[in-house]
Amino acid sequence: MKKILIVDPVHEFAINELKKKFEVVYHLHPSNEEFRYLIKDVDAVVLRSGVKINKDIINAGKRLKIIARAGVGVDNIDITAAKEKNIIVFNIPNISFSSVAELTFGLMLSITRKISLADSQLKKNIWRKSELYGNELNSKSIGIVGLGRIGGRVAEIAKGFGMNIIACVKDDSFERRKALKELGIEIVSLQELLKKADIITLHVPLNEETRNLITKKELMLMKNNSFIINMSRGGVINEKDLYEILKNNIIAGAASDVFVKENEENPLFNLENFVATPHIGAMSYESQEQIAKILVKNIINCSEGKDIQNRIC
C-alpha cells in the first residue's frame, strides 16, 4: 500500500477517500526536522501554503514520487529539486478564485467601514461611534493589480458596488485594452493606478518580478485617503515599508490575508488601520470540497500511471 503524508489542512472528503486506497499520515505543520523524518518512507506529500518543502526535505523523501499542492501556486515548493529527482508536482488552480475574490471584499468593507475596530471596541464595552466614520465603496475607484481569474472576479463584484474599475496587467496589448474597455475596465500603468485608485487590491503570483512590487516608493504615490489590500502573497508588499506608512497615517489603511512569515507575530497586527486574516482566502467549504475531489482523482491517476490535471513537472 502506498503511503501519503498530509501536512496542511484539507477537506475531509480527501482524507476519507485517500484512506480507502492508501495509508494516510496526517501531521499538520511539521517543523523541518519533523518533516524530514516523516517524509522518509512516503510516496506522496500533500500541502497547501502553510508548509514549505525545500531541497533537503525533498532529498529526504527516498520513496517520494508526488508533491501535491492542494491549491494555486507552487512558490513554497522547490521545483528544481523536484525535477532533479523526477518527482511529479501538480497544483489545483482556478477553483478558489471566487472564494478569494469574496474575501477581498470582506477585507475591503472591514477596513473602509472600520468593522474590525468597531467589533474589537464593542467587545470591550467601548462605545465610540464618533471615531468610526467610514467610507462608501459606491463611486470609488478600485485599482486591481493582476487581472487573472481572481482579479477578474473582483472586477465583476466591484461593478455591483457601483465602483469605477482600473487595472494593471502583465500581458498588455491594444486588443486586450479594447476588450476590457467594453467591460468597463480601464488598463493603466502601475504608477497611474497607485495615484488614481481609492482602493487597491493585489492579485499576482509571487516571483522575482513581483517580489517587493509595492515598497515605500509605490506606497507614497497613493492618495492619503486610500487603502491597499493584499490577497496575493506576503512578499509582494514590503511589510516594513507598509508598517511605516500606516503608522504615520500616510495612507488611510490596509488589509492582508498573506504575510512573509505566517504563524508568527507581526508588528502590523498592532495597528488600528490594518486588518488581518491568516491566509484564509481559499478557505470556503465549497472551494475546498472541489479541490479535494481533484486532489484525490489526481493522486489515484498518478499512482496508476495515468495523466493528471495541472502537472507542473
- Answer yes or no: 279 catalytic: yes
Answer yes or no: are the C-beta atoms of 199 and 165 closer than 8 Å.
no
**Which residue among 279, 286, 289, 311 is the active-site one?**
279
- Answer yes or no: 233 catalytic: yes
Helices and strands (H and E) in the chain: how many: 12, 12
**Which residue among 136, 262, 286, 304 is the active-site one?**
262
DSSP conformation letters of 79-102: HHHHHHTT-EEEE--SSSHHHHHH
Cα gap 108→228, rounded to integer Å = 9
The three cell numbers of residue 304 are 496508476
Alpha-carbon distances of 311 from 89, 214, 301, rounded to whole Å: 6, 31, 12
The three cell numbers of residue 93 are 488552480
- Continuous H helices in 76-160: 79-84, 97-112, 115-122, 149-160
**Which residue among 233, 244, 286, 304 is the active-site one?**
233
Q: Measured at the alpha carbon of residue 235, what is the angle toward residues 198 and 231, in degrees to the nearest 5?
A: 45
The three cell numbers of residue 181 are 474597455
- Answer yes or no: 29 catalytic: no
Q: Which residues contact 227 (CB under 8 A, 6 or more apart)?
A: 108, 111, 112, 198, 199, 200, 251, 252, 253, 254, 255
Q: List the catalytic residues.
A: 233, 262, 279
